Structures are given as structure tokens and as C-alpha cells.
Amino acid sequence: MADQTAGEPQEHLSDRYNPRGKLDSEVVYQGRIWNVVQDRFQLTDDGDPLVRDYIDHPGAVAVLVMNDDGEVLLINQYRQPTGMNLWEIPAGLLDVEGEDFQLAAARELAEEADLTAETWHVLTDFFNSPGSSSEAIRIYLARGIGEVPQHQLHERTDEEAEIELAWLPLDEAVDAVLEGRLHNPSAVTGILAAAAARTRNYENLRPADAPWAAHPTQRHLWSNSGDEGSAAVPPVDQD
């Protein structure tokens, strides 16, 4: 039996773009914000067709806001699917066609927290639930915080009208994650990523305009590396 506990070290371990043979695709449910799509595809050329349903999602951006004291901003709002008030970080859908990703994040920060930021970096990218949704999320680290001018304040409605804000030292936010007190995926991912980035003095973070090849609208950025079905994200200059 092969040793499952050891293996050759892999440099630059990375997800790869590896689309399989799609036979057909159809929208089986059309929703108010997103649709459910059913794909029929083959894993291999001689394999039997497989059918998978998933949410066709425009993607989202989120913002881990950090002030000069190293505290991070959390916002609290009600989420109907969970029946819970969750502590989250500012975030929103990429539902404005052609909108720049970072500008979308800045818009969400202004709308949900009445804040602006001077310094932006990509903190991390992830798929929220890749077995059931195409949703790709990019989390930014935003620093150099300022307030939105009074005459430009966004009027929040519905669930957003109940938003409450809290500033928390990063270490306390990490404790809240590890103790199971926070559940929002962007908040959990962003807080832990920020804590990891802090150990390197945030010097390894990508610029705000770094390519995002994993987003469904940006798949053309993947470049074939020579192996069948493999791909690599284009190199990004570091700040």
C-alpha cells in the first residue's frame, strides 16, 4: 500500500484550470438574483455523462478593514437563510456589469460602513462552496481609513438598515473564529488570512489590481503550462 503520509515536496502548489467536456447546460431555475444551472459533462472522453446542478453566481468582494491600532471592523446583520444575526465584514455581489473589483469593494465599504480607505491590497481569494456554486470571492485588506462625507452617505434599507459596527483587536477576532463564535465565511477567511499576513508584516500581499483568474469572467487569464488540462495564474509583481 502506498504511503499516504509522505510525498514529494511540491513548489508553487496551485489550483489549476481543468474544464471537462461539457455536453450541454441549461438553466433549471431562474431566481431573482441568481440561477440554478444543470450541466451534463464527461470526466473522461470515454466516461459516462454526469449531471451536476449548481448556483450560477456573479461572484463577490469583501473587505477586511484595519485601523491604525490594528483593530478590524466587523458588521452585524440578519441573514434569513440561517435565521441568525452574523458578525461579518463588509461585502457585496459583483452585480454591476464591468465594475472594477476593487472599486466594487470600495463601494460596499462606503455603503455598509460609511468608510473610505486609502491603501488596498488583495488579502486572499476563495470559492465559497465549489461543490454547489460558482461563487468566487476576493477579500481585500483596506487601511488608511476615513469617513464618507455626510452628503455622500448611503441610505441603508431592509436588513442593511439594522447593521451595527464593532472594532475588535485582530487577536480577539482570531479567538472568536477559533472558539466558534463567528461563522460568516468571508469574515472567518479574512480574519485568519490577516493574522497570517501580519506575521510577514503584510509584505507578501498582492496589489489591489492583481489578476483574479479564478473569477468566471476572468478565465482568459489562465495560461497553459504544458501539462494536459493544467494552468497557472500569471505572475504578479509584489508591492
Query: Which position among 26, 155, 160, 228 bears the catalytic label?
Result: 160
Q: Do you know the residue count of the chain?
A: 239
CA dihedral 207, 90, 212, 216 (to 10 degrees): -170
Element (H, E) at 109: helix 101-113
Active-site annotation holds for 160: yes
> Cα–Cα distances in Å, from 21 out to 43, 84, 86, 131, 232?
7, 40, 40, 18, 20
Contact 121, 77 (CB under 8 A): no
Please tell me the distance from the alpha carbon of residue 167 to that of residue 61, in angstroms, as a whole number. Answer: 20
Contact 142, 104 (CB under 8 A): no
Beta bridge partners of 84: 79
Tell me which residue of 154, 161, 189 sits closest to 173, measured CA to CA. 189
Element (H, E) at 192: helix 185-198
**Pairing mode of beta strands 50-56, 115-127:** unpaired
Give me the active site residues, please.
160
